[in-house]
């Protein structure tokens, strides 16, 4: 390497990024375990569009404590619907080799594994791909 060349920064695992990109395109589900900032998170990998759809369903089932809260919920549903439609348009107009590189990874039914316990992390989880330190297919614990 010459003095003028900059080393390439590793911002995420290329294999994981490629797998998430393909999964975003085909919208499959597979169990995966991630190591993120010293935490172990395990769940079902889902596509970006499916993540948006599940959040829309969650908001549709939400009962706001005040009347003004319904406007916020309706706005969130509208924004998530537009995003899901934009993702579907990308799926329809691109093939798997030209589908955009993902920046996020999405899990359904995630659990966080602590030293002495396994706890639910909610119905869905979204994290930055460049924050994933390691990963494997399957669960890191016996059910």
Question: Higher model confidence: residue 2 or residue 23?
Answer: 23
Crossing angle of the two packed helices 48-60 and 67-93, in degrees rounded to 10: 160
pLDDT exceeds cutoff 80 at 10: no
pLDDT at 12: 67
pLDDT at 7: 46
Name the residue among 109, 108, 110, 105 with its Cα closest to residue 41.
110
pLDDT digit string, tens, across residues 17-34: 989 998 998 889 999 999
pLDDT at 9: 52
pLDDT exceeds cutoff 80 at 50: yes
Rounded-to-integer distance, Cα 91 and Cα 112, Å: 31
Question: Higher model confidence: residue 12 or residue 140?
Answer: 140
pLDDT digit string, tens, across residues 102-143: 999 999 999 998 877 888 878 999 999 999 999 999 987 766
């Amino acid at each position: 390497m010459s003095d003028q060349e900059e080393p390439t920064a590793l911002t995420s695992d290329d294999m994981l990024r490629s797998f998430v990109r393909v999964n975003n395109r085909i919208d499959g589900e597979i169990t995966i375990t991630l190591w993120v900032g010293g935490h172990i998170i395990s769940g079902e990998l889902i596509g970006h569009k499916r993540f948006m759809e599940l959040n829309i369903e969650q908001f549709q089932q939400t009962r706001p404590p005040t009347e003004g809260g319904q406007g916020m919920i309706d706005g969130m549903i509208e924004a998530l619907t537009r995003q899901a439609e934009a993702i579907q348009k990308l799926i329809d107009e691109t093939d798997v080799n030209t589908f955009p590189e993902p920046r996020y990874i999405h899990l359904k039914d995630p659990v966080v594994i602590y030293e002495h316990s396994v706890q639910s992390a909610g119905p869905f989880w979204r994290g930055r791909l460049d924050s994933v330190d390691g990963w494997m297919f399957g669960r890191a614990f016996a059910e």
